[in-house]
């Protein structure tokens, strides 16, 4: 199993308010989510009107497919609106198929905020 993470930092020169910024980000994120089977969200620089960071993730058995999809996501973000890509980071982490989660991992998950027995 492979997990791919793409972080794209954008400069939005036309943004004069948070409303302008949100419109550009919403268009880019919605377009990426609609065209590809990925998760995408704004992850940083939320205090600046003209700077934003978007993260995109994808999981697959095929590492080449992940790199291809995230490359297409970069192109889609670049053409989605009035934003310029100033930085792009791509990371793919591989996990062996035989690796299983141990009891410690299960207990840690139950203790975290995402687990519910209700």
Q: Which residues contact 115 (CB under 8 A, 6 or more apart)?
A: 109
Q: What is the pLDDT of residue 100?
A: 66
Q: Identify the band that residue 61 occupies on the pLDDT scale cut at 50, 70 and 90.
A: very high
Q: What is the pLDDT of residue 96?
A: 86
User: Can you tell me the distance from the alpha carbon of 27 to that of 81, in angstroms, rounded to the nearest whole number?
Assistant: 7
Where helices occur in the chain by DSSP H, the ranges are: 18-35, 63-78, 103-111
Picking from 13-17, 33-37, 113-117, which range would have the lowest pLDDT averaged per residue?
113-117
Q: What is the pLDDT of residue 103?
A: 56
Map out the domains of the chain as residue ranges: 2-111
Asked whether the beta carbons of 88 and 74 are under 8 A apart, the reply is yes
Helix (H, G, I), strand (E, B) or coil at 58: strand
Taking alpha carbons only, the member of 24, 15, 18, 115 closest to residue 78 is 24
Homologous superfamily of 2-111 in CATH? TT1725-like (3.30.70.1120)
How many CB atoms sit inside 10 A of residue 79's CB?
10
Mean pLDDT of 23-47: 92
Asked whether the beta carbons of 8 and 71 are under 8 A apart, the reply is no
Mean pLDDT of 39-67: 92
């Amino acid at each position: 199993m492979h997990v791919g993470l793409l972080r794209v930092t954008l400069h939005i020169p036309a943004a004069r308010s948070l409303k302008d910024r949100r419109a550009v980000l919403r268009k880019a994120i919605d377009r990426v989510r609609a065209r590809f089977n990925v998760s995408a969200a704004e992850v940083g620089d939320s205090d600046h009107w003209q700077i934003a960071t978007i993260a995109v993730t994808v999981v697959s058995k095929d590492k080449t497919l992940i790199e291809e999809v995230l490359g297409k996501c970069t192109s889609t973000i670049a053409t989605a609106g009035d934003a310029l890509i100033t930085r792009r980071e791509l990371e793919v982490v591989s996990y062996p198929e035989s690796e299983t989660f141990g009891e410690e991992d299960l207990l840690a998950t139950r203790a975290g905020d995402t687990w519910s027995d209700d």
